[in-house]
Structure 1
Amino acid sequence: MRLTPPKILSLGFAGLIVIGTLLLWLPAASTEGRLSLVDALFMATSATCVTGLAVVDTGTSLTLFGQIVLLVLFQFGGLGFVTMATLITLILNKRISLKERLLLQESMNQNSMQGIVRLIRRVLLYSLVIQGMGTALFTLRFLQDMGAAKAFYFGLFHSVSIFNNAGFDLFGDVHGPFSGLVHYVEDPIVNLTSMALIFLGGIGFIVLSDIVDYPRRRRLSLHSKVVLSASLILVVAGAAMLMWLEANNTMKPLHAGGKIMASFLQSITPRSGGVTTLNVAELRESSQFLLILFMFIGAAPGSTGGGIKITTFALLMAAVYARLRGREDVALFRNRLPKENVYRAITITLLSLLLVVSATMVLCITESADFLSVLFEAVSAFGTSGITLGLTPELSLPGKLLVIVLMFMGRTGPLTLAYAIKPRRSRELYRYPEGDVTIG
């Protein structure tokens, strides 16, 4: 079988999941004897696909060994196993082959191989620096609540988890199972550090590289302009809507600064962050549906997040705007976009929508929960967001298996999987005559 880059990427993630499952299945990984094989598979998939959904509480049900296994899995899953393999190759001072460069190009969603190794070096450097700063800030804050060794470990775990958009936390060991960051809803250090880590991990390494180079080059690429502008619009608009909807509900006890921080964190985190400072199950249904929309959109290409990607959403909005204005070309920032990109955006969105709708219908049959909770779970798994209304620990065996598939497809991408399993493309020897169908 000829292994193309999409096939290798899909098989690589599957291999990581298998290894993680076997390690988490060991008695040494659980404080309660041994996880079931399905629960171990669920947790390994959630960590590798940087989702954050958990059927057992990470802080109380997993030992230090189990937590470290998760930490390694979401570090590899967030940065990409190809990127981590390249790091090992660079450390060993070996040459990066053409096939490996093609893999890197596919994993980073690049259009060419030019400068791909230099980009990978930057990815690794930026990740190390950002996660190191996050670790330092979290450690300083957690020193107020626990000993130095535990504070450092908590700082490291949560910095890596949040930057990679994994969403796992250990606070079940401090504040009770599945408590999350609710106790830090008005803490400026935890909120601002978490928001910065989620945002930097979600905009993608291509954009980070552009931002670092901006003082020297004095310009940003079209991709970076689209990602940054669309991200800022969604974050600000989402925060404003959440503050308006929740002002007299979950945010009522908070002071003004706490409401602002809670609004912005809950606006940023659905696009793959996975950590929340408000109890999502207590939000108004309108707020929960807003989070569903944000989870479906997801983060940027080449980032640690999932979803259909924010550039896909921006391209679709630009195409709708162009059609409403009667324009033939789709343009962003005075740049005409190829029709191939528009077709790709439509394909990704429709495949993703079909996947989420089908999964929601099946979960409605297998689970005893209301429709919104089921839809929320399906979109969260696909968007690798890791937020739940409380359904994850209560999933049935078929429900767990379906969510595992959703998390895997959400991380690798519906289109990548479609390319991975499709037969070898043959040259078309003929074309059909053009026809006309009435639309609208």
Structure 2
Amino acid sequence: MVGSAARSSSSRLALLVFTAIIGLFTALLSLPVATTDGTRTPFVDALFTAVSATTVTGLVTVDTGTHWSTFGLVVIMISMKVGGLGVLTLASLLGLSVSRQMGLAQRVITASETRAEKLAEVGSVLRTIVITSTSFELLTFLALTPFMIANEHPLGESLFFGMFYAVSAFNNGGFVPEAAGTAQYLADPYFSVPIATAVFVGSLGFPVILVLVGKWRTPRKWSLHAKLTLATSGILFLAGFVVHLVMEWSNPATLGPHDIGTKVLASAFAAVMPRSGGLSTLDIGALHNETQLFTDLLMFIGGGSGSTGGGIKVTTFALLILALVAEARGDRDVEVFRRSIPQETIRQAIGVLFMSAAVVFVATFVMLRITPFALESVLFEVLSAFGTVGLSMGITGDLGTAGKYVLVACMYVGRIGPMSLGAALALRSRTRMVHLPEERPIVG
């Protein structure tokens, strides 16, 4: 009974704590000390930035490198770290450090966020998450700091930029501390490779990372979720790489003027970022329509389950494709990697797909009514917000107050997840005791 009650309340608790954390960071970013000129940031922009950082999205309405002071950038970096770990995970870690033990209810709630398979493993999973995430961030920091020094940044600034980029990359935050942005590093592998690697690993999700860390020598013992996430993520990366390389090869505004090595590097970097990374070395607004459309799809899919990414998630997309293949073949069961997928899981995937599509449709419809921008720009922005990606066609800063609030809602729902949000807002849950007679309608 305790476990059942804890599971039913975990979504509401996550919603309340997440909202409170956003409120705290909004207040901090509203302080005059958070800006370079010492003035207060308008509430809507402070809220937008706090939500974007805590949901690890990366969309901005003010220029990060020029508007925010060092204090403001530190607040944003902490927000990304908190959002990447998860507020309930962080709360459980703090409680564990104080009391040295966790109650059953706390274990159940934490397990729902960390995706731990056994309640007894929650404590060790939490420690592994912190150690693993910190290690990846440290490695990225060590790779980027010498690069920053070599690019003639002062030592203190190089250390700060290295840490900021490391946190932003692994947690898929998408924020850039430099006024010049990341386009300046288009042809530089010493920046692109560490950043893209950190983004890709972070987008896999902690359930997969934990499997890789603990069982990297025995792939046959990997969980079905890990195998499915890795396989699908690899396919999506290759597809994104090919589309960017082929479609933009001769585009004079993107890859056209560059040599083959730069084209390959930039295409690989661009293929990783729609997972939820949000950093870009190419001008998104200058991409061909076909490339933008494919990026829309990648952003809607998002990252892995249990990761910082939004969207419908990689495994959801994979299960839907597998279900379509099974239906086309006339197979009764959906099977992959010598395992059969329960029908309840397929139903959940379908539910996530349609609820996510509904959120994107409503948000796009509203944005078209209240902004002067074209459909392709609005849809791209909404998908980037819902997928907590952070890529933009350059219209975010020009949105009115109402448009900014719509994107805030998209980022919030995208990070929480439409299914989790629905469960949290449900007035009550019940188990039906009566099963009505079946009758099959005509489909197709």
Taking structure 2 as the reference length, what is the TM-score of the superposition?
Answer: 0.95
Structure 1 partner of 2:30:
25
Which of residues 216, 234, 241 is equivalent to 1:232? 234
Alignment of 1:351-390 (within 5 A): 351-390=355-394
State the Cα distance separating 1:358 from its structure 2 match: 0.7
Distance in 2 (CA, whole Å) between partners of 1:429 and 1:203 is 39
Structure 2 partner of 1:275:
279
Structure 1 partner of 2:210:
209
Q: Deviations over 1:306-336 (max 9, x none)?
A: 1110000000000000000000101111100
Retained in 1: the 8 A contact 2:172–2:199? Answer: yes
Structure 1 partner of 2:19:
14
Alignment pair present for 1:432 and 2:439: no
Corresponding letter in the other structure for 1:369: F
Alignment pair present for 1:248 and 2:256: no
Retained in 2: the 8 A contact 1:47–1:70? Answer: yes
Distance in 1 (CA, whole Å) between partners of 2:72 and 2:26 is 11
Retained in 2: the 8 A contact 1:108–1:301? Answer: no
State the Cα distance separating 1:207 from its structure 2 match: 1.1
State the Cα distance separating 1:391 from its structure 2 match: 1.1
Distance in 1 (CA, whole Å) between partners of 2:250 and 2:96 is 54
Distance in 2 (CA, whole Å) between partners of 1:160 and 1:425 is 38
**Structure 1: which 4+ aligned runs deviate by more than 4 Å?**
215-218
Structure 2 partner of 1:49:
55
* Secondary structure at 2:119 match in 1: coil
Retained in 2: the 8 A contact 1:280–1:389? Answer: yes
Q: Deviations over 1:267-290 (max 9, x none)?
A: 110110010110101100110111
Retained in 2: the 8 A contact 1:105–1:113? Answer: yes
* Secondary structure at 2:56 match in 1: coil
Q: Deviations over 1:256-307 (max 9, x none)?
A: 1111111111111011001011010110011011111000000001112111
Distance in 2 (CA, whole Å) between partners of 1:337 and 1:382 is 27
Structure 2 partner of 1:198:
199
Distance in 2 (CA, whole Å) between partners of 1:276 and 1:248 is 19
Structure 2 partner of 1:159:
166
Which of residues 87, 102, 105 is equivalent to 1:96? 102
* Secondary structure at 2:150 match in 1: coil
Moved more, 274-283 or 90-99: 90-99
Structure 2: unaligned runs, 5 residues or longer: none
Which of residues 297, 303, 318 is equivalent to 1:299? 303
State the Cα distance separating 1:110 from its structure 2 match: 4.2
Alignment pair present for 1:141 and 2:144: no
Which of residues 111, 136, 147 is equivalent to 1:130? 136
Corresponding letter in the other structure for 1:125: I
Distance in 2 (CA, whole Å) between partners of 1:88 and 1:426 is 34
Distance in 2 (CA, whole Å) between partners of 1:113 and 1:10 is 22
Retained in 2: the 8 A contact 1:10–1:417? Answer: yes
CA spacing shift, 1:193–1:215, aligned 2, 3 Å = closer
Taking structure 1 as the reference length, what is the TM-score of the superposition?
Answer: 0.96
Q: Deviations over 1:26-58 (max 9, x none)?
A: 111112411111111110000010000000011
Structure 1 partner of 2:351:
347
Moved more, 322-331 or 78-87: 78-87
Corresponding letter in the other structure for 2:150: Q
* Secondary structure at 1:331 match in 2: strand
Which of residues 331, 334, 338 is equivalent to 1:334? 338
Distance in 1 (CA, whole Å) between partners of 2:199 and 2:217 is 26
Distance in 2 (CA, whole Å) between partners of 1:111 and 1:220 is 13
Retained in 1: the 8 A contact 2:200–2:275? Answer: no
* Secondary structure at 1:327 match in 2: coil
Retained in 2: the 8 A contact 1:42–1:55? Answer: yes
Alignment pair present for 1:409 and 2:413: yes
Q: Deviations over 1:194-237 (max 9, x none)?
A: 11100110001111121122255453111110011101111011
Moved more, 413-422 or 107-116: 107-116
Alignment pair present for 1:395 and 2:399: yes
Moved more, 252-261 or 210-219: 210-219
Alignment of 1:33-112 (within 5 A): 33-110=39-116, 112=118
Corresponding letter in the other structure for 2:258: L
Q: Deviations over 1:398-420 (max 9, x none)?
A: 11111101100000000001111
Corresponding letter in the other structure for 2:77: L
* Secondary structure at 1:154 match in 2: helix
